[in-house]
Amino acid sequence: MKFMLTFSLKPETKARDEAIGRFKASGGRSPKGAKLLGRWTAADFSGGFDLLESDDVRALTEFSLMWMLRFWDKISYPTWQKLAHAVRTGEGQAQFGKFDKAEQQIFSAGVEAFSFTVAAGLATSYDFSRHRRVLDVGGGTGSFLVAVLRRYDALKGTLFELPGACAVARQRLAREPEGTRIEVVEGDVFKDPLPEGHDALIVANTVHVFSTAHNIELMRKIRVHVRPGARLLLADLWTDPTHTQPVAAALMSGEFLVIAGEGQAYSEEEAGQWLGQTGWQKLDRRPLAGAASLIVAEAK
């Protein structure tokens, strides 16, 4: 039997501590007797739902408090303890490329859980039928490519990520039928050449971890590697000009700063300026999920 398990981030039951222990031991996998079919999480962490298959109600109860607890415990909360210093200096402590194997697994899984609804929204809100090959720059576990390729059988993808993230992605993609159509390429977006031959590029949950200068550099570099007419898809927590709306995006700026060392949530207007300076024409902005939205640009 299939169940939809809704959740909010207010665990108050006695089983909470026990569930945290099970999560740490299991890596967030569903317990025996329950099969996880999919997870949809609000972009602002307020809640979401899991789709599970099980005949065991107890297994579903055990599962309800597991997801993302290790991410908060091991990655997010420790960095927030340095928030005051990061705000005063404008610099956090960059974590990317410095995780050990276990931390990288926790980080990658946590980010995928956080952005699951955004990936699903991108796959349904943008028409990829005009494209042949999609490059996901800084694409984490490859979850965005999986969501897109699942809807477009003729499409192929390339994931470009740091080596640690690629190691997790290869394991993740090996479990997906779409993984056979995804090439995984290791590299640093600012130090290594980007893979060639793509007519669509996804940059999702990446702009917010870089400074303005680095984002301009990134968009300029991407433009050099594509032909006119290629599409750039920027999925992120884009704000209004005051950086205060949507509220969830503004609040997440603290998370971006302490983890990335220089990031924040940026406005649609800022993105438009960067695109204009780097050879792109902004075409559209559309909602995705929660506070996340998509900016579509085309190479001039």
Q: Are residues 81 and 19 in the same domain?
A: no
Q: Are residues 19 and 114 in the same domain?
A: no
Task: Name the average pLDDT for the chain.
Answer: 81
Decide if pLDDT at 252 tops 80.
Answer: no
Q: Which domain holds residue 30?
A: 2-67
Of 67, 87, 111, the one marking the end of a domain is 67
Least confident of 18-27, 50-59, 202-211, 289-298: 18-27
Q: Are residues 36 and 95 in the same domain?
A: no
Q: Are residues 274 and 195 in the same domain?
A: yes
pLDDT at residue 173, as a whole number: 93
Burial of 152 (0-12, 13-18, 19+ CB in 10 A): middle
The CATH number that applies at residue 166 is 3.40.50.150
Q: Are residues 93 and 191 in the same domain?
A: yes
- Where does the pLDDT of residue 230 fall: very low under 50, low under 70, confident under 90, or very high at 90 and above? very high
Which two structure tokens, joined as six digits, stand for 241? 């000009």
Dihedral sign (CA 19, 22, 27, 32): negative
Do strands 292-299 and 280-289 pair parallel, antiparallel, or not at all (unpaired)? antiparallel
Average pLDDT on 134-155 reads 95
Q: Are residues 62 and 181 in the same domain?
A: no
- Across the beta sheet with 34-41, the strand order is 2-8, 47-54, 34-41
- Where does the pLDDT of residue 264 fall: very low under 50, low under 70, confident under 90, or very high at 90 and above? confident
Average pLDDT on 104-129 reads 85
Separation between Cα atoms, residue 83 and residue 71, nearest integer Å: 17
Q: Are residues 23 and 116 in the same domain?
A: no
Q: Are residues 156 and 10 in the same domain?
A: no
Q: Are residues 37 and 153 in the same domain?
A: no
pLDDT at residue 8, as a whole number: 46
Decide if pLDDT at 270 tops 70.
Answer: yes
Q: Are residues 13 and 123 in the same domain?
A: no
Helix (H) or strand (E) holding 159: strand 156-161
How many domains is the chain built from? 2
Q: Are residues 36 and 107 in the same domain?
A: no
Q: For residue range 164-194, list pLDDT tens digits in order.
A: 999 999 998 998 899 999 999 999 999 999 9
Report percent pLDDT > 90 for the chain.
48
Burial of 238 (0-12, 13-18, 19+ CB in 10 A): buried
Of 67, 100, 123, the one marking the end of a domain is 67
Q: For residue range 97-114, list pLDDT tens digits in order.
A: 667 787 777 777 777 877
Q: Are residues 34 and 60 in the same domain?
A: yes
